[in-house]
Amino acid sequence: MSDLSPSSLTSDIEKNTPGLRLLVLSNGHGEDIIAVRILQELQQQPNPPEVFALPLVGQGYAYHGLDIRLIGSVRTMPSGGFIYMDGRQFVRDVQGGLLQLTASQMNSIRHWVNTQKKSGHKIAILAVGDIVPLIFARLSGANYGFVGTAKSEYYVRDDVNFLKRKKKGAWWESFSGSIYHPWERWLMSQQRCKAVFPRDSLTAEILKKWAIPAFDLGNPMMDALEPTISRPRFYGAHIEKQELARPLVVTLLPGSRPPEAYANWQQMMIAVSALMALWEEEKFVGYSSQTLVFLGAIAPSLHFDSIRLILESQGWQPHAQPPIKIPDKDCLTFKQKNAFFILSQNAYNDCLDQGDLAIAMAGTATEQFVGLGKPAITIPGHGPQFTYAFAEAQSRHLGSSVILVEEPAEVAKVVKSLFANPDKLQAIAENGLRRMGKPGAAKRIAEYLMELLWNKD
């Protein structure tokens, strides 16, 4: 796959007979992945459209596996797409050519739309992410849909009322009655905006108050998370005695962005040491196992040996066999006293499924873990992504399923308190499923997009 110049794109398209064409705009690695999940389902539909894409942030690697053509310039900015977290990141991006890149991308979108229309194709645009691709879609002159991945009403309210917040300036987030500001709602209520797919039921319900075509079809983030090896849930309304005798498994989610993830990993090692010490000193309520297992879900974007060296510097010694089944022949196992540590770079879904709880300093991974009905304890880092502001917003978004601590050493006592309260664990399970939704959203969105392409003028 390669970027296409306007001239080569025009000559290539004109060889085809008129048909359906879809252009996908996404602005970040996570958004790219969500877009690809929808496109995979779209390709399974009868008479699917020919798909083009323009990743507005980064290189768009997620599109490579589907052999989708990119229509314009792509470039990784210094911030990696997190300019909203820090004004200094925005300045760095401007210095790195952000404005020129934006102008070039807008020209590419307009050229694609004009070329397709002249060739007689029926077209639509799918914007995935936040207001940036939504603006681009509006300016394109084509019909468009919007998958809103960045915002949820849960950031500012629970299922009943607005959250009471003391933070200065917090009123701004919901001053107009919604997490989506009036200008964003205006973009979503335009005649050419045919469908909006919010990330949860509550957000869809609120948006409908402004005559926005919002459809509650679920969150694609929870799709394709089936484990290779499944096991019974650890907690619930009734905890079985045989479950209490197995190892307690703690999944570690350090994020996927170097070098930030390595700094996060150092912080998490402090939390691990504190939890091990408390595990040896005190008996966790109702728990008979002497074994503690840490499961490191390491993103492919990270240097595996760097993570391993940090672990070994904390006194962990290589061990022959993992204490639990992990479908990754390249995983590494370590041992220290009565605890085991498994590092895996190829079994992400199983790392989520096996964990009873998570120590997390990640965005998407934390949400997915919580969406499986499990608690996550988060520690603020130094960014550019997982700062205190990001972690605090995430804890509001995910509610009781996320426990934000100030310091890594506090994790141990939080874990102990969780297992002393089975009712809270059950409430957390229900909360996570409600806020993140059921699997299958990508297929439902793809089916509606086919209706959008065929039937909407």
Percent of the chain with pLDDT over 90: 65
**219 in Cβ contact with 262 (< 8 Å):** no
User: What mean pLDDT is predicted for residues 286-292?
Assistant: 70
User: What mean pLDDT is predicted for residues 246-264?
Assistant: 92
**Residues 164-198: pLDDT tens digits?**
877 766 777 888 999 999 999 999 999 999 999 99
Instruction: Identify any residues that bridge with 73 across adjacent strands, giving them in sequence order.
Output: none
Token pair listed for 126: 């799918």
Cα 312 from Cα 314, distance rounded (Å): 5
Q: In CATH, which of 3.40.190.10, 3.60.70.12, 3.40.50.2300, 3.40.50.2000 is domain 241-436?
A: 3.40.50.2000
Which residues of 170-316 form beta strands (DSSP E)? 193-197, 248-253, 292-297
Cis peptide before 6 (omega within 30 of 0): no
Confidence bin at 305 (pLDDT 50/70/90): very high
Tell me the residue type at 32: D
| Mean pLDDT of all residues belonging to the chain | 86
Tell me the residue type at 61: Y
Statement: residue 57 has pLDDT above 60: yes
pTM beyond 0.85: the answer is no
Cα 154 from Cα 206, distance rounded (Å): 11
Of the candidate ranges 156-160, 416-420, 452-456, the one whose mean pLDDT is the lowest: 452-456
Where along the chain do its domains lie? Answer: 6-223+439-455, 241-436
Q: Is the dihedral of CA 109, 112, 115, 116 positive or negative?
A: negative
The CATH number given to 6-223+439-455 is 3.40.50.2000
Cα 6 from Cα 303, distance rounded (Å): 37
**Residues 133-162: pLDDT tens digits?**
999 999 999 999 999 998 999 999 998 888
Same CATH fold assignment for domains 6-223+439-455 and 241-436: yes
- Contacts (Cβ under 8 Å, ≥6 apart) of 117: 123
CB count in 10 Å sphere of residue 75: 16
Higher pLDDT, 24 or 245: 24
Q: What's the confidence (pLDDT) of residue 456?
A: 53
- Contacts (Cβ under 8 Å, ≥6 apart) of 219: 199, 200, 371, 436, 437, 441
With CA atoms as reference, report the closest residue to 54 among 130, 110, 105, 115.
105
Confidence bin at 257 (pLDDT 50/70/90): confident
User: What mean pLDDT is predicted for residues 259-272?
Assistant: 96
Alpha carbons within 13 A on the beta-carbon side of 265: 28
The DSSP H or E segment spanning 144 is strand 144-148
The DSSP H or E segment spanning 123 is strand 122-129
